Structure 1
Amino acid sequence: MQQTIATLAGAAVTLALVAASASPAFAVSRGNMPAYCRGEASSQYGTKPMYVKTGKIAKAKDGSLSIKGTVDQGSEGIKAFQCRFDKKGNFIDVMALTSDGE
């Protein structure tokens, strides 16, 4: 009986740890959004954040936030993108605004 309880408790702890480590959503403060956006865009485009420029934060009617920017990819040119955040400040994604011709 004690072994069964210990096994169940161990399983519960394991499930809690897995759930906690599965990309928890967290709000990004407005002051940190441009830097966070540059980091995410640089990762998506495979470049350094210093080659990424971001504009001002725009607020949509539904309360969501976005930041438009550009990334200099050298010989591949300058690509436009938009970082999107929900109304709570949770990062959604980086959306390409420049077609890669695909």
Structure 2
Amino acid sequence: DKSMDKLKVTRKKLYDQYDTVESLQKEKKELEEKCLALENENGQANSSPQQMQRMVLTFEREKADMLDTLNNYKRQISEQSQALEQLSLQASNTENG
């Protein structure tokens, strides 16, 4: 019975993390679209090369940070999936034994 409760808690955490990953992916896409829009605006406004370089560096830094966060979530999801499988096996062994 405790293992089933743990299984439910772990499952909820797993689904919450999936939702977080999806929201981060959506946010990344929105940031990329904003960056492209800004690049187009700056190209039309004849911005200085230094400003453009700063924007590109900022974008690349933010992109790298988001990818790191996404990879961390993927790792956590993988770890929780393994824990979920173990709890599921324990629960079925408890029911069968």
TM-score, structure 2 length as denominator? 0.31
Q: Which has the higher helix share?
A: 2
TM-score, structure 1 length as denominator? 0.29
